[in-house]
């Protein structure tokens, strides 16, 4: 598939390019992104360029993974990344610290989920490493049902198994589960960093 743009009144999602190297590199210095993902550390411009060249472009071309850069309307500066992988219909994302708290990630997730449903996906899956309340609050506010705790599909940074919170949003709007979310007081609309696997190592 050729890359496409998704947009709302406040958010514009476009394919990341090498012109976004500085923004991607800056975002991946954030301790929360490092903690909750498997991006390389230290993360340099070389990793950002490889991410664009080896994952973003080939992902679109092969229809394996569609990756967008998140930008505020009126700005070309990339403030985050959101991806949708087709094999398991799963979603991943991260947002730079300066852009959090304004509902930007919530809008980006809504755009991607709506697009996936329009293309015929019956549901969209989400997971994050256990304890990533920021990512969980985004998923919860975007209408995902909490479906439990289990082994993460994306291994930990050391390659070993780790525990994940999981969720699902169905295209027909029916709840996928009646399980309560792990924390009772997640603030709706809170922007989290990134759940495991958006970059699959940040290559």
pLDDT tens digits, 19-34: 999 999 999 999 999 9
| Alpha carbon distance 13, 109 (integer Å) | 10
Taking 80 as the threshold, does the pLDDT of residue 203 lie above it?
Answer: no
CA distance linking residue 202 with residue 85, whole number of Å:
15
User: What local confidence, expressed as pLDDT, does residue 195 receive?
Assistant: 39
- pLDDT over threshold 70, residue 184: no
69 contacts: CB under 8 Å, gap ≥ 6: 13, 14, 15, 16, 20, 23, 78, 80, 81
pLDDT over 90 percentage in the chain: 86
Q: Please give the average per-residue pLDDT across 34-46, as a whole number.
A: 94
Compute the average pLDDT of residues 135-164: 94
Q: Determine the Cα–Cα distance for residues 69 and 5; give it in Å rounded to an integer.
A: 10
Model pTM above 0.85 = yes
Domain 6-170 has CATH 3.40.630.30: yes
Measured between alpha carbons, how far is residue 65 from residues 2, 20, 148, 187, 190 in Å? 12, 19, 25, 29, 25
What is the pLDDT averaged over residues 80-94?
97
Using an 8 Å Cβ cutoff, are 159 and 122 in contact? no
pLDDT of residue 51: 97
If you average pLDDT over every residue of the chain, what do you get? 91
Query: What value does the mean pLDDT take over residues 161-168?
Result: 96
């Amino acid at each position: 598939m050729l890359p496409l743009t998704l947009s709302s009144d406040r958010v514009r999602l476009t394919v990341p390019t090498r012109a976004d190297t500085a923004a991607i590199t800056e975002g991946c210095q954030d301790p929360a992104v490092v903690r909750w993902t498997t991006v390389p550390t230290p993360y340099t411009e070389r990793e950002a360029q490889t991410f664009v060249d080896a994952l973003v472009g080939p992902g679109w071309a092969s229809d394996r993974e569609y990756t967008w850069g998140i930008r505020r309307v009126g700005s070309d500066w990339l403030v985050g990344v959101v991806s949708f992988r087709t094999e398991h219909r799963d979603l991943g994302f991260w947002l730079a610290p300066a852009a959090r708290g304004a509902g930007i990630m919530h809008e980006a997730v809504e755009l991607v989920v709506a697009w996936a449903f329009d293309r015929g996906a019956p549901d969209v899956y989400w997971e994050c490493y256990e304890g990533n309340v920021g990512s969980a609050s985004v998923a919860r506010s975007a209408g995902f049902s909490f479906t439990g705790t289990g082994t993460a599909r994306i291994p930990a940074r050391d390659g070993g198994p780790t525990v994940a919170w999981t969720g699902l949003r169905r295209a027909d709007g029916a709840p996928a589960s009646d399980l309560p979310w792990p924390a009772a007081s997640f603030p709706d609309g809170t922007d989290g960093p990134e759940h495991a696997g958006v970059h699959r190592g940040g290559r």
